[in-house]
Structure 1
Amino acid sequence: MNNLKRLFFIPNYCSKAIIRNILLLIVWLCPYILFAQKTLSIVSKVQIGAFPIVSKATATSILVEESNAEVVGITAEAVSSDIFRITGVKPSIIHDLKTAPQYLIIAGTLGASAVINQLVTSKKIDLSAIQNKWESFKIVTINNPFPNVKQALVIVGSDRRGTAYGLFEISRMAGVSPWTWWADVNPIPRKELFALSGNITVGEPSVKYRGIFINDEDWGLNAWAKRKMDTTIKDIGPNTYSHVFELLLRLRANMIWPAMHDNTKAFWYYKENPKVADKYGIVIGSTHCDMMLRSNTFEWGKNYEQEYSEKPNEYRYDKNKAQIYRYWEDRVKEAKNYETIYTIGMRGVRDGSIVGPTTKEGKIQLLDVIFKDEREIFERNLGGILNVPQIFCPYKEVLDLYRAGLKVPEDATLIWTDDNFGYIRQLSNPEEQKRSGASGVYYHLSYLGGPHDYLWLTTTSPSLISYEMAKAYQFGANRLWVLNVGDIKPSEMETQFFLDMAWDVKKWNPGNAWKYAEYWAGETFGKALAPEIANIKNRYLQLAQNGKPEHLGILQFDDASKQERILAYDALIDQVERLKKKIQPYQKDAFFELIEYPVKGAGLMNRKIFYAEMSRQVATIDKKLAIAYSRKAEDAFKQIKSLTKYYNTGIQQGKWDHIITYFPRNLSVYGMPTVGTPEVLDSTSTIQKVYDRRYLDTTPIKAATKANAATKYATDFQTKHEIVNEQIIAINGLGLGGKSITRYPFNGNSFKETAIDNAPYVEYNLSLKQGTYNLSIKCLPTHAIHAGRSLLLGVTINQEKPTFIDFNHPKEDKKWSANVLRGYTESSISLKIEQAGKTTVRIYLMDTGLALSRLDVEPLENDKP
């Protein structure tokens, strides 16, 4: 009894009866004491002590003082609408405590809210964890925060965006997807909502600036926006952008690179656009080729004369400095009161080469002058350089200039890029990692250009995104991540993954990225169906790894692989059809947009291309079979058109009219291919061929097959040898067969050939007959991390002298084109087997950033049976 007294601080003078009652009360209260220490969550059934968001058909009001930034009020209204979507009851928005009810939701920004300041002063809330932090927030339930207020659910942000993210966290916990409007993802209906007592503290984000680049918008977003959103101006304008900016906040993003194609007027042309961005707290930037927030395709090429009442001379700084300087400075003056990020340097008007000097040395000297003048503009108009976020993007020819010695201002952020197909070209070396401006990444989910566009469906897997972006982060790219999302749709899951990873890079790493599809499916469609949806999504992405739907007109598969792909996609479509029967009516539209359309579209594209090829192959041998194949090809084409029409006109009375096209840029692959029996062709589908001949001729690229004497996937090793502070990890969803191995983390040592004995390795056992073979090693087509590193493998056969292979291929040429289109790079060595039996192949992973996918062994011609 004395021990119990000491444990619970019970005075000695208390009687046994009193002590027994106190202990019973403690035992009874224990679950609630422990529960109060838990993370806050939202449920649909009442519990003791829970905060009522909606109870008995009554919604709790949301208090947002008018002293907060406008985005806080906008977000509160959106959350109120979200709660209405779930419950049918809409919380009212109030602006002061005078009318506060017993229960109250309070949202405010630290330093901008008198109500929050009162809670801090009265020690009702501790905000030290978010004080002076970037975009952080805290959510907590508080009992008796003010007179007449029994309980409050309080959302506090460290800044205006932090508060907005905190408010949208309430929606997300209640079951509202970030894609509630953009993909018609309706939440599970609930009659009541309660917040269970606890608290959440979130932030700071891993990456400071996180956003999207709307690009390739001519065929989808622009066509839709002028019909359904900004119908007066018939363009992408403030109504469209308000929905885009809300989506960014729901995804915890903070930055936009606006649309800038020929068919789209400049973002700044419509004066409401930057005002809307500011209302939503979104940072305005511009693409890698549009300097100083200008959009050159429109503003220099089409609108300069209207803006300045004179014709523009050549966009060439060495001959036309005065016009260009004024053109840049005027935008800085216009943008000075907005939150912005400036792209510095110079490119041609349409992302072409810089006009002027023809030598690298001359271009570098000119860029030195341009940097100086751009920074002079900042000094003159913005009161200095230090508080002006600037980026420089060494992309295309500019990367060559940077590698040749171009000196970029120390405080500007270097924005590294992928090669347009998801593989980052270069990252910061040890010296560059010391720069005060740090670095970031510009990454593609959609691309227009050589060797071939991919503008229709999105097929870049979370595993690949994670592999490349985790590597970037580990080499210092933490200042800015921007994602080219094309038309936004149909890149929903992949966009969310990129931005989720930018928010918390440790949560989603290469080892677990393949699980993201299930996490996302659970959030979008509910946990019960999430495993099956994830299985479909992951298989869809895996099949596209060695053949995107848009690239099937170039890739050459053997007959067995064609049949295998057709069967695999048919099985996926069957899964979709079975699953569709389980989807609730209120989820049907979202399921079609997010799962059904891309899976069926990709599958039907494979059927169309391959059956057309088969019909041509048998046309002179078996006319009846050729006709059968031709009709299958045409049927697939008709289904693609029908599905696309439904997407545009059949969902919610045509909400998405023109958002999706099955033939962006009218490339030949989207039309009806030539078949062996011309009479069954749809004569209306004449689509022009477009190739980028810098990279491709008309020769098809051989895709991966498995008709070999032996095939070993990289994960099938017998033994592995790791080194200190590193692992050799398997990555699901990456590479041929959906599995690759790599060294992790990425910032480990790079071993030279002379240090092979110190390098990690894996071993494979092969059973081969006597003879001479070709050993083909297939890897992901990644690039060496930076100068001084490579992508080197060392290969030994039965412990003989090693052979070294460098898989780095930095040039844009036909070899690179083949690699990125088929999803792998390969190199071969000769293998001579003197005695039948076990052959041991040891592969040393000399460098990080190289993902090994598959080993294929094939007998040479004279040794084939």
Structure 2
Amino acid sequence: DEDWGLRPWAVTTFEPEKKNIGPKTYAKVFELLLRLKANLLWLAMHPGTAPFYSDPENVKVAAAYGIMIGSSHAEPMLRNNVGEWDEKQKGHFNYITNKDSVYAYWEERVKQSGSNKVVYTLGMRGVHDSGIEGVKTAKEAVPLLERIISDQRNLLQKHHPKDAAEIPKVFTAYKEVLEIYDNGLRLPDDVTIVWPDDNYGYIQRLNNQDEKQRSGGSGVYYHASYWGRPHDYLWLSSTHPSLIREEMMKAYENKTDRLWVLNVGDIKPLEYNIQLFFDMAFDAAPFRQSTYTKTHLQNWAKQVFQTKASEITAVLLQYYDLAFERRPEFMGWSQTEPTTKTTYTSYNHFYYGDEAQRRIDQYQKLQKTATDLRKQIAGEKADAFYQLVYYPVVCAAWMNKKFLYRDKAFLYAKQNRSSAKDYAKLSNAVYDSIAIETEYFNQHLRKGKWNGMMSMKPRDLPVFQAPDIPAINIQNGLLWNVAPEGYDTAAFQQKREKSLPIFTKGIQQKYFIDVYLSGSQPVQWTAEPSASWMRLSQKEGILNNREQKNTVRIWVTIDWNKVPKAEAFSGHIVFAAEGIEQNVKITARQPKDLETFKGHVECNEQISIHANSYVKEVASPNSKWQTLNGLGHTGTSLQSHVSVENIDTVSVGKKAGYITYEFYSFSNSGPNVSVYTLPTHPLNKNYSMRYGISIDDGGVTIVDFKTIGRSEEWKQNVLRNSAVKTVSFSKLEPGRHTLKIYAIDPGVILDRVVINFSAKQKAYSVIPQTIKYQVTSFSF
């Protein structure tokens, strides 16, 4: 996908005499390949890019660098269909109705490339990343594709000095081609099967035992950048290094090692992930340990910058962690194919400690660290730091703030908060910051060396546009107001009783209350708790519209050393200003049975469990769960390892390995248990993506999160890097319970579990874990 960086840079700055990507640009790419210890290039092939073979100098440069030339899944026999197939002259790209023309088209390139170091893509799709023409079903395509591959092989035999079996040939089972393969397509044994990911970093298929025996071997086509549905990610590097390690090492252990191809987009934004991918390809052994990803990143930072390697590593890991939760390019909650408008995010602004603000704060801290580090890295390393660390970090931060500030402007206006207008201004300001920073990257960095390389709006998609914020109209019915955590716009409009969520002893909890201005005049306020066991971060202050001081957020905690000797108790906080008082109810509980319990506890009608917080792990001879460091939304996940092709699901409880969690519930109802896994795909056709789940040694429910094609479920999975399945259980009595999750299929990556009794407050990100700690106080 060279459209938004590499080609504009070549045209504008590096190779203007060609007005395209030409031999001078390719020479730099080939040199990069050698420095990466790589040796193969799938040629640039998008509309507007000159076909590689249209310039004989390109071929000479490839030969000089010893680089093997190949072509993508959509370009059989080294033909750049977009630039070389003229339908007006040659007719339809259809092997049924126009075989002679298509055959001659391929034969011309085979003759031309016979003396070069090349890898031929076999098969046929549409002209450009679309399905093969002339057939209606995958089954109908099988005999046609077999005939095409046979004819292509004969072409190679006819025009090459080598035997066809010795000529490198690949068949990439990409998109609809995988379905054709699954319908019985037979490939010559000497053809390398290339298994693709799903365009979002999750490999769709790997070898079964028969495929491992093929003489042609197998390979992987993997994306670190993508153009297409459900949404592009072409701007910044946002694929987590730990995900790349996990998926590619899974391929390596599966003997999928003849060919590894990485979609690098415009190259420049993806420099570290490219380095990681090819370091793994060259020497995979160290990467068998999941902890080595961090080691590799730190070694790379030390090699590049010589200084501050640990700090740079921490910044980049946090950057990738935040992008794993939601890529910057996905923050508009919009889609492509068809392109939809941006909408409000799914982050909760009123609950879970203000989930949206937590993400803003994380990015703000990261942005500050990157800015401080930039001041400490001088000389020839300064510009490298800007490109590799500073620009992606601050622009990702601004992209997130653009949408989360926009959300706050909209939502707070509904509560008549004066701050709504401030957030609207902030949203527009950070959009301007991205534009200014991108102009610096292109126009001023290294005196314009990279002019044209960085676009802040690839494909001009809605997510990259200025924020669309409706006119804000504040109704000044009250000069001031309070909004406790959980008091969303619906509660405001319905004028519900104001109260905080319930506090439970032993759980690390603090909840907020916002005191805010609605009018234009300053307001002096006070807050007085009805009992000393309620602790407030602030008890008085002045609200005014100057310097964005029209809101104060008060944090409330409980001093458990001062609470009444009762299992449940309550109090209230009185807020007063301008002769008006408002009460917020505070409720807490300390059940005696919890004093000896260690595990997860129901808080406000739900329980949040991180995968690695289990109390017992039991392996079976055939299956087990193992810790996977550095990957997942909680930092550490569990991966299923299964050594047999089929565990008898009837006797899962006896034959499958499992993990156990203990939880304590207060609700007298049946829970819905939502299990969050990474959206991985079955290892091969012999498996699915199953796990089992049970409560209190009851019957095991089998869950399968395998998705088909590019379904709506799959789209949501890759946009959020989570597959979520929910199982409903019958009524549980309040008290202690156990939850077991069984390993059935290999490659299931368990991230977290939420047990919901009747909680209505939704969260997009990880709900803080409700696990019992021995704490009695909380410092602000």
Report the TM-score when normalising by structure 1. Answer: 0.69
Query: In structure 1, how many angstroms separate the alpha carbons of the residues matched to 2:242 and 2:28?
Result: 29
Query: In structure 1, how many angstroms separate the alpha carbons of the residues matched to 2:239 and 2:414?
Result: 39
Contact 2:280 2:287 (C-alpha < 8 Å) held by counterparts: yes
Query: In structure 1, how many angstroms separate the alpha carbons of the residues matched to 2:317 and 2:619?
Result: 29
1:777 alignment partner in structure 2: 675
2:438 alignment partner in structure 1: 644
Q: What is the one-letter code of the residue matched to 1:556?
A: S
Query: In structure 2, how many angstroms separate the alpha carbons of the residues matched to 1:676 and 1:659?
Result: 34
CA drift of 1:531 comes to 1.2
Query: In structure 2, how many angstroms separate the alpha carbons of the residues matched to 1:713 and 1:750?
Result: 28
2:156 alignment partner in structure 1: 378
Q: Which moved more, 1:712-721 or 1:765-774?
A: 765-774
Q: Does 1:286 align with 2:71?
A: yes
2:488 alignment partner in structure 1: none
Q: What is the one-letter code of the residue matched to 2:607?
A: A
Contact 2:331 2:463 (C-alpha < 8 Å) held by counterparts: yes
Q: Does 1:592 align with 2:592?
A: no
- Please give the secondary structure, in 1, of the residue aligned with 2:228: coil
Query: In structure 2, how many angstroms separate the alpha carbons of the residues matched to 1:289 and 1:543?
Result: 33
1:144 alignment partner in structure 2: none
Q: What is the one-letter code of the residue matched to 1:450?
A: R
Query: Over residues 303-342 of structure 1, what are the superposed CA-to-partner deviations in whole Å (9 max), with x where a residue is unaligned?
Result: x88xxxxx11111111111111111111111111111100
Contact 2:645 2:686 (C-alpha < 8 Å) held by counterparts: no
Q: What is the one-letter code of the residue matched to 2:58?
A: N
Query: In structure 1, how many angstroms separate the alpha carbons of the residues matched to 2:259 and 2:99?
Result: 30
1:758 alignment partner in structure 2: 655
1:566 alignment partner in structure 2: 360
2:104 alignment partner in structure 1: 326
Q: Where does structure 1 lack aligned partners over 5 or more consecutive residues?
A: 1-215, 306-310, 680-705
CA drift of 1:639 comes to 0.7
Contact 2:236 2:392 (C-alpha < 8 Å) held by counterparts: yes
Q: Does 1:816 align with 2:714?
A: yes
Query: In structure 1, how many angstroms separate the alpha carbons of the residues matched to 2:309 and 2:9?
Result: 31
Given candidates 309, 314, 324, the residue that maps to 2:92 is 314
Contact 2:442 2:454 (C-alpha < 8 Å) held by counterparts: yes
Given candidates 513, 531, 556, the residue that maps to 2:346 is 556
Q: Does 1:518 align with 2:298?
A: yes
Q: Does 1:735 align with 2:735?
A: no
CA drift of 1:295 comes to 0.5
CA drift of 1:426 comes to 1.1
Query: Over residues 796-821 of structure 1, what are the superposed CA-to-partner deviations in whole Å (9 max), with x where a residue is unaligned?
Result: 21212111111211331111111110
Contact 2:717 2:723 (C-alpha < 8 Å) held by counterparts: yes
Contact 1:761 1:843 (C-alpha < 8 Å) held by counterparts: yes
Q: Does 1:714 align with 2:608?
A: no
Going from structure 1 to structure 2, the CA distance change for 1:373 and 1:499 (only over 3 Å counts) comes to: same
Contact 1:730 1:741 (C-alpha < 8 Å) held by counterparts: yes
2:35 alignment partner in structure 1: 250
Query: In structure 2, how many angstroms separate the alpha carbons of the residues matched to 1:863 and 1:330?
Result: 63
Contact 1:223 1:658 (C-alpha < 8 Å) held by counterparts: yes
Going from structure 1 to structure 2, the CA distance change for 1:319 and 1:720 (only over 3 Å counts) comes to: same
Contact 1:771 1:832 (C-alpha < 8 Å) held by counterparts: no
Given candidates 733, 738, 751, the residue that maps to 1:840 is 738
Given candidates 427, 444, 458, the residue that maps to 1:633 is 427
Q: Does 1:609 align with 2:609?
A: no
1:465 alignment partner in structure 2: 244
CA drift of 1:357 comes to 2.4
1:451 alignment partner in structure 2: 230
Query: In structure 1, how many angstroms separate the alpha carbons of the residues matched to 2:415 and 2:665?
Result: 38
CA drift of 1:584 comes to 2.7
- Please give the secondary structure, in 2, of the residue aligned with 1:736: coil
Query: Over residues 511-564 of structure 1, what are the superposed CA-to-partner deviations in whole Å (9 max), with x where a residue is unaligned?
Result: 1224322122112112x4111111111111111112101111115221122111
- Please give the secondary structure, in 1, of the residue aligned with 2:154: helix
Query: In structure 1, how many angstroms separate the alpha carbons of the residues matched to 2:705 and 2:261?
Result: 27
Query: In structure 2, how many angstroms separate the alpha carbons of the residues matched to 1:313 and 1:708?
Result: 65
- Please give the secondary structure, in 2, of the residue aligned with 1:651: helix
CA drift of 1:724 comes to 5.1
Q: What is the one-letter code of the residue matched to 1:432?
A: E
1:474 alignment partner in structure 2: 253
Q: Does 1:661 align with 2:455?
A: yes
Query: Over residues 20-68 of structure 1, what are the superposed CA-to-partner deviations in whole Å (9 max), with x where a residue is unaligned?
Result: xxxxxxxxxxxxxxxxxxxxxxxxxxxxxxxxxxxxxxxxxxxxxxxxx
> Percent sequence identity over matched residues?
37
Query: Over residues 619-646 of structure 1, what are the superposed CA-to-partner deviations in whole Å (9 max), with x where a residue is unaligned?
Result: 3543632210011101110111111111
Contact 2:123 2:148 (C-alpha < 8 Å) held by counterparts: yes
Query: In structure 1, how many angstroms separate the alpha carbons of the residues matched to 2:623 and 2:257?
Result: 22
2:572 alignment partner in structure 1: none
Going from structure 1 to structure 2, the CA distance change for 1:645 and 1:229 (only over 3 Å counts) comes to: same
Contact 2:681 2:689 (C-alpha < 8 Å) held by counterparts: yes
Q: Which moved more, 1:251-260 or 1:572-581?
A: 572-581
Given candidates 460, 465, 489, the residue that maps to 1:671 is 465
Query: In structure 1, how many angstroms separate the alpha carbons of the residues matched to 2:682 and 2:177?
Result: 18
Contact 1:461 1:733 (C-alpha < 8 Å) held by counterparts: no
Query: In structure 2, how many angstroms separate the alpha carbons of the residues matched to 1:349 and 1:249?
Result: 31
Q: Does 1:768 align with 2:640?
A: no
Q: What is the one-letter code of the residue matched to 1:754?
A: V
Contact 1:293 1:342 (C-alpha < 8 Å) held by counterparts: yes
Going from structure 1 to structure 2, the CA distance change for 1:678 and 1:449 (only over 3 Å counts) comes to: farther
Q: What is the one-letter code of the residue matched to 2:677?
A: C
Query: In structure 2, how many angstroms separate the alpha carbons of the residues matched to 1:226 and 1:299?
Result: 20
Contact 2:5 2:455 (C-alpha < 8 Å) held by counterparts: yes
Contact 1:266 1:298 (C-alpha < 8 Å) held by counterparts: yes
Query: In structure 2, how many angstroms separate the alpha carbons of the residues matched to 1:739 and 1:406?
Result: 40
Q: Does 1:581 align with 2:581?
A: no
Q: Does 1:432 align with 2:211?
A: yes
Query: In structure 2, how many angstroms separate the alpha carbons of the residues matched to 1:572 and 1:458?
Result: 16
Contact 2:622 2:657 (C-alpha < 8 Å) held by counterparts: no
Query: In structure 1, how many angstroms separate the alpha carbons of the residues matched to 2:605 and 2:258?
Result: 46
Q: What is the one-letter code of the residue matched to 2:187?
A: V
Query: In structure 1, how many angstroms separate the alpha carbons of the residues matched to 2:731 and 2:640?
Result: 30
Query: In structure 2, how many angstroms separate the alpha carbons of the residues matched to 1:833 and 1:523?
Result: 58
Contact 2:5 2:453 (C-alpha < 8 Å) held by counterparts: yes
Going from structure 1 to structure 2, the CA distance change for 1:863 and 1:713 (only over 3 Å counts) comes to: closer
Query: In structure 2, how many angstroms separate the alpha carbons of the residues matched to 1:494 and 1:563?
Result: 29
Query: Over residues 484-522 of structure 1, what are the superposed CA-to-partner deviations in whole Å (9 max), with x where a residue is unaligned?
Result: 010001101111111111111222136122432212211
- Please give the secondary structure, in 2, of the residue aligned with 1:854: strand
- Please give the secondary structure, in 1, of the residue aligned with 2:285: coil
Given candidates 397, 400, 419, the residue that maps to 2:179 is 400
1:367 alignment partner in structure 2: 145
Contact 1:714 1:740 (C-alpha < 8 Å) held by counterparts: yes
Going from structure 1 to structure 2, the CA distance change for 1:797 and 1:649 (only over 3 Å counts) comes to: same
1:226 alignment partner in structure 2: 11
1:786 alignment partner in structure 2: 684
- Please give the secondary structure, in 2, of the residue aligned with 1:652: helix
Query: In structure 1, how many angstroms separate the alpha carbons of the residues matched to 2:223 and 2:143?
Result: 30
Contact 2:625 2:743 (C-alpha < 8 Å) held by counterparts: no
Q: Where does structure 2 lack aligned partners over 5 or more consecutive residues?
A: 334-344, 474-602, 763-780
- Please give the secondary structure, in 2, of the residue aligned with 1:788: coil
Given candidates 693, 713, 735, the residue that maps to 1:795 is 693
Query: In structure 1, how many angstroms separate the alpha carbons of the residues matched to 2:387 and 2:234?
Result: 16
Contact 1:470 1:510 (C-alpha < 8 Å) held by counterparts: no
1:701 alignment partner in structure 2: none
